[in-house]
Copies of this chain bind each other. A is one copy, B any other.
Amino acid sequence: MIMVTPSRKPRVAADAKDGAETLDFGMLPGLVGYVLRRAQLRVFEDFIRSFEPLALRPAQFSALLLIEANPGRSQREIAAGLGIQRPNFVAMMDEFEARGLARRTRSEVDRRSHALMLTPAGTDLLVRAKAVVAEHEARATAGLSEPDRLRLLALLKAM
């Protein structure tokens, strides 16, 4: 039985930038959905800014990683792994091919499907991306000790 205590008292600063307003957030800071969403937006903000020089969005970075680690898999398999709809993965693969980062080749065993793999340029970009993501990760978890970072990952996965 979870109580979700209202905790009405603590008034927190809404946003220092637009006035010295103070808002009562009520039960929101006690709800995982709210706190999770806010944290995720903060982390993605830094991720997106960090990856602007490489022109990669979060989903694109994940897609390239998945293709690298699973060469020869189909679009359906990679899209399913990413949790995105198959139709929405088409444009992403189109861009990867246009930028010379990945290739589609018709599968020999099932000529309906595409075998995906990175190009050398795609592999090179991922090398740089992994350095960028390590710096991003350090910034995103700057407020946590390494044991706390691992504990956070474990708690998120246990949900």
Contact = CB atoms under 8 A, between A and B. Distances in A.
A156 B146 contact: no
A97 interface: no
A109 to B, nearest CB: 14
A78 to B, nearest CB: 8
B155 A32 contact: no
Interface string A70-81: 100100111011
Copies of the polypeptide in the assembly:
2
Nearest to A2: B138
A8 B39 contact: no
A23 B21 CA distance: 48
**Most chain-B CB neighbours within 10 Å: which of A23, A36, A148?**
A36
Contact of A26 (B33, B43, B68, B134): B68
Contacts of A149: 2, 32
A27 interface: yes
A105 interface: no
A73 to B, nearest CB: 7
7 contacts: A1-B138, A2-B138, A14-B77, A21-B81, A33-B43, A40-B40, A144-B155
Interface of A: 1-2, 4, 8, 14-15, 18-19, 21, 23-44, 47, 58, 62, 65-66, 68-70, 73, 76-78, 80-81, 83, 130, 133-134, 136-138, 140-144, 146, 148-149, 151-153, 155-159
